[in-house]
Amino acid sequence: GTPESVDGGVVGFFSLEMSAEQLATRIISEQAEISSSKIRRGEITETDFEKLSYCAQEMSRIPLFIDETGGISIAQLAARARRLKRQRGLDVLIIDYIQLMQGSKTASSGNRVQEVTEITTGLKALAKELGVPIIALSQLSRQVESRDDKRPQLSDLRESGSIEQDADVVLFVYREEYYLKNKEPKEGTEEWFKWDQEMREAIGKAEVIIAKQRHGPTGTAKLGFQAQFTRFSDLAEDEYLPERHE
């Protein structure tokens, strides 16, 4: 299809971790509301197949361009993004994820922090040059796991303070349910009833922590999360309106 087929912008997605096929499966699973594990195992009904076919057709009309080159350098990524903008237009660039990118040979002489700094500086310059937002995913350091409160903080960004420094906005996703489900006490005990109550409150919910925002407030927004479809959604209840910290 053409970029004019549907509303919305042209998206460039550099997927360094997942293949284009895996990414497409995940998107179609979310759209069709059929779990990706069922799709992978081929456990689908005729109705499921019809929904998947429809979503696949719709997806082919969407101006989403996926580049699955592993270990791409910042120079290669910039060249491909410029070409995409020139040939198809470009409204947003997504990179999954920073730590799988390479710097130049000069920066990568054994100093990973220096290399990541070169990558984030390059991404900031590219966003300015192309006039588009760049959403870059990052790994977190393992120190998160050693704390009681597992909510990520800016100091947890892995391998470089330059990510925090160069980003206009830093968002973290946190799900209490993810940690609680691995801590189930013996059923029927007092601890279990307390755990069960906490689990009921946490299930299907996620927090988006706005840890940095150059031109606005920080705080936390609560969202709905459907794990089987990897789908985030708005929560309508008043109690889940974003908390603001000026």
Rounded alpha-carbon distances, angstroms, from residue 15 to 12, 67, 69, 107: 10, 6, 7, 23
197, 132 Cβ separation under 8 angstroms: no
**Start-to-end Cα distance in the chain:** 45
Q: What is the arrangement of strands in the sheet containing 11-15, beginning at the earlier edge strand? A: 64-67, 11-15, 92-96, 134-136
Both structure tokens of 200: 């009921």
For residue 77, what are the CA distances in angstroms to 22, 66, 100, 189, 233? 21, 12, 12, 55, 31
- Inter-axis angle of helices 46-60 and 20-32, nearest 10: 120
Burial letters 179-211, b for 16+ CB under 10 A, else e: ebeeeeeeeeeeeeeebeeebeebeebbbbbbb
For residue 203, the cross-strand partners are: none
Q: Is 17 an active-site residue?
A: yes
Q: What does the block give as tokens for 107? A: 């920066």
Single out the catalytic residue among 17, 43, 191, 243. 17
Question: Which of 55, 100, 60, 61 minimizes the C-alpha distance to 77?
Answer: 100
- Residues identified as active-site: 17
